[in-house]
Structure 1
């Protein structure tokens, strides 16, 4: 009898001691299901009330910007604060996929901020995005968490993950960022340009080349961004027109427009039509100075990753055709090993979940568990404190 008493006592102790861990693991699975469901039905939606949504304004250098704020519904308090940064999409923060994801985060008891970054709506990334995300981080920390350290998390998608990581490294705000959860990020602008123009990529300078057909959308978004950085207004207009035509119809013939390009535009076009990965560094070096300067400001490879004090959780689809998974692999290899977690997922098509096998579901649940663990370690928003 005594033996069974001690066994029962140990079981009760285990249930009490590990209850937070078990609950968080179950919650992670519910979050994954809800993300995969998008706006559709899920167990998380049945369990927790629909979030509220409102718009706020915050100051950035030289202007005022806006962001949508999602709050947990049903009278629940937020456990932590997170910024969700959309990828390069026309609808920006209003894209239905971003809205659904932000609602999932709010149902997961995050206070969610989704900034309206105009560059992303214009299918471009700019170094100014780093300043805007840093300003929003500072706004949240001062208004919502009373400036507490490690009080803000960032979830960022695709090309926007680069500026998000750079914002987390900003000397003025890096003490405020608890984690960065980057889905399908880039690392090295030159290796990214190599892939988008030639289809070749590799996991490191000494690794073998691999090849796949890059997404036409990603290639022409890269051109669209590069065009915005040119000083020559004519070349800027022509390259944007070429990219808009290709984004609307991948089979569009833009050779006539390419023939009208001046020296700046021709330098970008030479990189675009190159198919030899070994020639890419030279072609990049011949780009206009204004383009190279923006490349440098957005590049992660040239940064000291020791400046990133936040936990870094990297998720990347193995078959991603917009940004190869090797970018996240290389980033993980240079970041602090004790604070970096990398998950390469077969069923992830860039930023959208497909049908997950057991291994993928296990890795996704681990990644989501880490996100929720960071949430539970963060200070809650001021309004929730007793």
Structure 2
């Protein structure tokens, strides 16, 4: 009798331990992911009972209505989490972009299958409704691949402007019952509203916040027909794209960035007027001059419903919104506005966090306060818990 009681007690303790670990695992996994991403506290990371897995990657094309999308898949040796598709923002780097590769590889090392799908239009610095269709088509395709998504459900992660497009796609009927969650990092709810900040440096609440010049140049690229005659548009476009390529490389490849900035200036100096003056605003990063000239065209350039979650049917899956509290590309005010919109449309499963631990779509590496780390850990843990395990 005593032996039987001991067995029952041991079984009870094991069951309690299993339940405790099941409840704690997403938080531990989130902590491991954050430590892996920042490279901080390597000693502490070694104590966490989740080991980074070996990861393999391969490239291929996914069929889509507007043309195939080139993607890269990261797979852990022994998948233990769900499957996610990551859509990068406005950047020319494609699947080779170092920061997006690092993020995807760290997700995969923590047990998830990760597909990164740079959108062709965003790679050439334009934001058009086609990109939302591309998000939809890649997501439908991935959810149908049972070798990659065993449950038939996936998570979507959109970065920067791609986050808003991903949320729009998630609200479409083709993805109903195919999504575990949508996460958006540093994204917009209403594109013209975010563009207005990029042109003025003024937040919707009326306060001023310094703005990065990158965004206003992307807007200019879409509206060149308002600033130059037809025969000057292509040479001006080439000079602007060279400048944006330089900006895209300024963190990951400073030498290449400097050479491209020099080339953008050379190209600008060779243009005839008025294109030369326009390119001068770009090369001097003169948002004060350029921004007000763009304001009359924001609805024309960014007002399509397919570009803004707040102008489209709301996604009704769990939504996770993460935003840097000092973001100078897409203002932090977009996230609470977007969360309020989704709630007003009947989605009660919206989790949002404003944090100083990220800038625009980048995890900061400096040693942060514990309280902020804990808030970010809880955010990631909730997100990881929403993913269907294989």
Cα drift, residue 225 of structure 1:
4.0
TM-align CA RMSD: 3.8
Q: 1:148 to 1:34 in 2, by over 3 A?
A: closer
Match in the other structure for 2:57: 53
1:218 CA displacement: 2.3
Equivalence map 1:206-355=2 (5 Å): 208-227=205-224, 233-234=230-231, 236-237=233-234, 240-241=237-238, 243-244=240-241, 247=244, 248=246, 249=261, 260=274, 273=289, 280=295, 284=298, 287=300, 291=301, 295-305=304-314, 308-336=315-343, 338-354=348-364, 355=366
1:25 to partner: Cα distance: 1.3
Match of 1:384 in 2: none
Deviation at 1:316, TM superposition (A): 0.3
Change (3 A) 1:9 1:45: closer
CA contact (8 A) 2:146 2:152 kept: no
Counterparts in 2 of 1:178 and 1:122: CA distance versus 1, 3 Å: same
TM (normalized to structure 2)? 0.77
User: Counterparts of 2:359 and 2:66 in 1: how far apart (Å)?
Assistant: 37
> Contact between 2:29 and 2:50, CA under 8 Å: does it hold in 1?
no
Counterpart check, 1:68 vs 2:77? no
Deviates more, 1:14-23 or 1:25-34: 14-23
> What do residues 173-203 of structure 1 show as CA deviations (whole Å, max 9, x unaligned)?
233122111110011122112110110112x
Structure 2 residue matching 1:200: 3-state secondary structure: coil
1:48-76 CA-partner distances (Å, limit 9, x unpaired): 33211012222111532221111102xx1
Deviations 1:58-106 (A, max 9, x none): 2111532221111102xx1343211011122221221111111111111
Deviations along 1:270-323, one digit per CA (max 9) or x if unpaired, are x9847679x94x5545x4xxx356x44312222232xx1221100000111111
1:92 to 85, 91, 94: 94
Structure 1 283/163 Cα, relative in aligned 2: closer, same or farther at 3 Å? closer
List runs of 5+ in structure 1 lacking aligned partners.
203-207, 266-270, 381-386
TM-score, normalization by structure 1:
0.77
CA contact (8 A) 1:34 1:45 kept: no
Distance in 1 between residues matched to 2:199 and 2:86, nearest whole Å:
29
**2-structure distance, mates of 1:17, 1:149:** 23
Check conservation: 1:149, 1:175, Cα contact below 8 A: no
Gaps in structure 2 of 5+ consecutive residues: 1-5, 247-260, 280-286
Secondary structure at the aligned position of 1:79 is classed as: coil
Q: What pairs with 1:64-143 in structure 2 (closer than 5 Å)?
A: 64-73=68-77, 76-143=78-145
Q: How many angstroms does 1:246 deviate by?
A: 5.0
- Kindly state the Cα deviation for residue 214 of structure 1 after the two structures are TM-superposed: 0.7
